[in-house]
Chain A
Amino acid sequence: MPNEPAVPLLNVQIDGVWHQFPKGTRVIEACEQVGIFVPRYCYHKKLSSPGNCRMCLIEMGFPRLGPDRKPELGADGKPIINWMPRPQICCAQDVAEGMAVRTDSPLVKECQRGVLEFLLINHPLDCPICDQAGECPLQEFSVDYGNSQSRFLENKVKKPKAVQLGPRVTLDDERCILCSRCIRFCQEIAHDDVLGFVDRGSHTVLTAHPGRSLDNNYSLNTVDICPVGALTSTDFRFKMRVWFLKETKSICTSCATGCNTVIGTREDVIYRQTPRENDHVNSSWMCDFGRLNYKYLEAPDRLLEPQIRSEGRLVPADWPTAIGQAALQLKQFAGSEIAIVASGRMTNEELWLTTQLANSLGVKRIDIVPRRGKADHILLSKDRNPNTNGARLILGSSSAPGAKLLSIASAVRSGAIKALVILKENAMHLGLSVEELGQMPALIVMNTLPNEATQNATVVLPACGFAEKRGSMVNGKGRLQRLNRAVRPPGNARDDWEILRDLLQATGGGNSLHSIEEVFRRISETVPQFGGLSLSKIGDAGVHILQIEELPPTQPQDQKAIEEAIEIQTRRRAVHEQVHEARARVGASSIEREAAPPR
């Protein structure tokens, strides 16, 4: 219970038991805090309370006051309650001193049954095809509080079905129970007030403002909060029934915010990502861009087999051969002739192993690729690398992450660098041409998807995507969070940390590490901010480990170098976009394009 000393505690009686709650607590929340669930549709704790669904009706009363304006006490020494003759909604009401509440009286039960009967009058019996079935409060409360039979003999009101409310949201107006959660979400959280009710009575329908559509980057959250199947995700629609989904707690890796997510999978196929509540990070929301940014894991051209260059072309090899070949190529060169380009999309464990690899080879030139986008000041961060802070802590570089990238590129161009290791990044982000990369004596690529540079690699190591591995990342606000494995990697792709561990061993550095927990333990021994932590201690909600305000400001020359690197990426992406545009199917939204493979 949030209990700050400044907020006075009030005495409230709930179902005959007196409790204390801080002033300002909603009655519905107070009931929940003492383990009494009051059914609700329109109420959502992160939104305002219009009180329009009437599902949370309760009986309410106040102490009977005597002539001296003091509560009259009963035989038990407690105040005698004067009950209001009519039920009240408890979602829009704050607790008050002496307030009494009854949530299970015959009147309340009768009200709940009546409200449900009204809600179901025009609700279609779509459950066999409705995507909400299985996680639908209307189904659940019908069983818990409703009637088993319908008394309604007339025809149900017909409303539009399968309305495209926006590029990613499909609306079924018949299923809508007019709770207005989606409208309030758009007003209060997404700041894009496009939804509203039109027409009256049973004919009221939810609709977007004429000429507008629900196309903001947070539109799919309305699908999550919709208590029925009225708003459905066009992406998830009819794909899989929810009761089949295995739910894995993880985090989104599409930007530095690191929204907490639940990945819904079945038999190694990801069907959806939904936000998971964490008030330190993402409240209950996540952006559509991050939510849909998982499809590249199932791309048809995903790297599935280790490959080595033989007689001028890449041929499949087994893992020991590929790792051995990579180690052999690297050992030909001095540490000063090798550069490692890691990624801000790698986990702390992978970055730590990367530093070990660099130490073992004597490599000094090591950095990540900076990645920027437009921040929206809701959740989406400017920094599109999920683990820039992890790289900052673990690579331990004196300059800001990404600042050395272009100096690596110029060293490659001048010939000072003869071997380049590209980990989970696109070598094209260095601003080098395919030919320049093709002349490298050793170009070792570890990635999930191919790109223009992959064909010139000397060794290709297929790795895992974010949903296929475990690990930890430090988000933009310095919170250490955990990734969990939701699906197994396809083909012969391997866990990134295992590839790096094997490469480290093959180059002669380091002893054996058998589990990712051991890797994390080694980090906690070497990096002070991780001290005393373990993967399991991070927990589902994460741990704050880094005070962002206390970080030294980025040097102006670093800032300039990072901006130059970003500029190269932006130019390249523009060209890529044109190519992609030509292939993109008609009507694909900008977010789907942005969510396209991070090559």
Chain B
Amino acid sequence: MTITVPRPKLNWRERLYLPAIASGLAITLKHFKNMLFGRTKVTMQYPEQKWDSHLPDYYRGAPALVRDSGGRVRCVACQLCEFICPPRAIKIIPGEIPPSDRFAKVEKFPQEFDIDMIRCIYCGMCEEVCPEQAIFLRKDYAITGFTRADMVHHKEKLLEIGGVMHGVVLKWNEKK
């Protein structure tokens, strides 16, 4: 189907173009003036300088595992993130928590939890799908390594990035 887009009717002032050019030049001159007085930074000297403090709350950086305030790794190896992950970056080997353990009631934990950061597309689906609020996208974005193996984040690395997450997941406390 053809859609006819009506051309805007321009009045004589707009057809002249000169006022628009003048206002554009005014903006340029304003920046030029700010430059002269050192009020505008054009280039940030990364990595010496970083913009990290300005990252918004919704920024999606590297996924990471978190512990709860009691020190327990929140992940119970349900493997939903492994299932949902579009580039199949996550690999989990579940294990059973021994009955003598402090958190034996939780029964299941991730023996191994690998995220291949070459594959990860930072989509955040793992965070969204997690029923245990155990995986979060943190603000780390500079993920580097010299080999492919370097780029795989193992459980320890993920927990290191993740840190402790306070908040309520009451599913495994004594009440339930």
Determine the chain B residues whose CB is within 8 A of the CB of A537 once the complex forms.
none
Please tell me if A237 contacts chain B, counting CB pairs below 8 Å: yes
Query: Is A415 part of the binding interface, using a Cβ–Cβ cutoff of 8 Å?
Result: no
A36 in contact (CB, < 8 A): no
**Chain A, range 151-203, C-beta contacts under 8 Å to B:** 155-156, 161-162
B83, CB-defined interface residue at 8 Å = yes
Known A238-B94, A238-B95; contact A128-B131, beta-carbon cutoff 8 A: yes
CB pair A129 B175 closer than 8 Å: no
- Interface size classification for chain B: 20 to 34
Bits for A131-168, please: 1 = Cβ < 8 Å to B, else 0.
00100000000000000000000011000011000000
B68 within 8 A of A: no
What residues on B are CB-neighbors of A125 within 8 Å? 171, 176
Cβ-based interface call for B161 (8 A): no
Does residue B112 face the partner (Cβ distance < 8 Å to A)?
Answer: no
Q: How far is the CA of A243 from the CA of B84 in the complex (A)?
A: 11
Q: Is the CB of B176 within 8 A of A129?
A: no
Give complex CA distance A549, B94 in Å: 51
Contact of B79 among A124, A156, A161, A241 (CB under 8 A): A241
Alpha-carbon separation in the docked complex, A127 to B77 (Å): 11
Contact of A37 with B by CB under 8 A: no
Q: A239: CB under 8 A from chain B?
A: yes
User: Which residue from chain A places its CB closest to the CB of B111 in the assembled complex?
Assistant: A238
* Minimum C-beta distance from B25 to chain A (A): 61
A128 to B79: give the CA distance in the assembly, Å.
8
Which residues of B have CB within 8 Å of A238? 77, 94-96, 107-108
What 0/1 pattern do residues 72 to 98 of B give for CB contact below 8 A with A? 000011111011000000000011100
State the CA gap A244–B81 with chains docked (Å). Answer: 12
Given contacts A162-B107, A238-B94, A238-B96, contact A129 B76 (CB under 8 A): yes
Known A-B contacts A128-B131, A237-B96, A238-B94; the reply to A244 vs B78 at CB < 8 A is: no
| Smallest CB gap from A128: residue in B | B78
Q: How far is the CB of A563 from chain B (nearest CB, A)?
A: 46
Q: Which residues of B contact A127 (CB under 8 A)?
A: 78, 131
B171 touches A241 (CB 8 A): no
B73 CB to closest chain A CB (Å) equals 13
Is B99's beta carbon under 8 Å from chain A? Answer: yes
Which range holds the interface residue count of chain A? 10 to 19
CB of B132 closer than 8 Å to a CB of A: yes
Q: Could you tell me the distance in whole angstroms from the C-beta of A368 to the nearest C-beta in chain B?
A: 41
Inter-subunit contact B76/A128 (CB<8 Å) = yes
Over the window 122-138 of chain B, the binary record of Cβ atoms lying under 8 Å from chain A Cβ atoms (1 yes, 0 no) is 00000000011000000
Known contacts A124-B176, A162-B107, A239-B94: A129-B77 contact under CB 8 Å:
yes
Separation of A124 and B105 alpha carbons in the complex (Å):
12
- Expressed in whole angstroms, the minimum distance between the Cβ of B92 and any Cβ of chain A is 9
Interface centre among B80, B82, B132 (most CB of A within 10 A): B80
Closest Cβ of chain A to B81, distance in Å, is 11
Residues in chain B near residue A244, CB distance under 8 A: 79, 82-83
- For A155, give its contact among B80, B82, B132, B175 (CB under 8 Å): B175
Minimum CB–CB distance for A530 against chain B, Å: 43
Contact A156 B176 (CB under 8 A): yes
A240 to B176, CA, bound (A): 25
Task: Pick from B82, B83, B99, B108: contact of A129, CB below 8 A.
Answer: B108
Give the docked Cα–Cα distance between A588 and B171 (Å): 34
Q: Mark A260-296, 1 if CB is under 8 A from B, else 0.
A: 0000000000000000000000000000000000000
Verify A162–B94 contact, CB threshold 8 A: no
Interface residues of A in 201-253 (CB under 8 A from B): 237-241, 243-244
CA distance A239 to B111 in the complex (A): 11
Query: 11 A-B Cβ contacts within 8 A?
Result: A125-B176, A129-B107, A133-B78, A155-B175, A162-B99, A237-B96, A238-B96, A238-B107, A238-B108, A241-B79, A241-B83
The 4 closest A-B pairs by CB, nearest first: A128-B78, A129-B108, A241-B79, A128-B131
A156-B176, A244-B83 known, 16 other contacts, Cβ within 8 Å: A124-B176, A127-B78, A127-B131, A128-B76, A128-B80, A128-B131, A129-B76, A129-B107, A133-B78, A161-B105, A238-B94, A238-B107, A238-B108, A240-B94, A243-B83, A244-B82
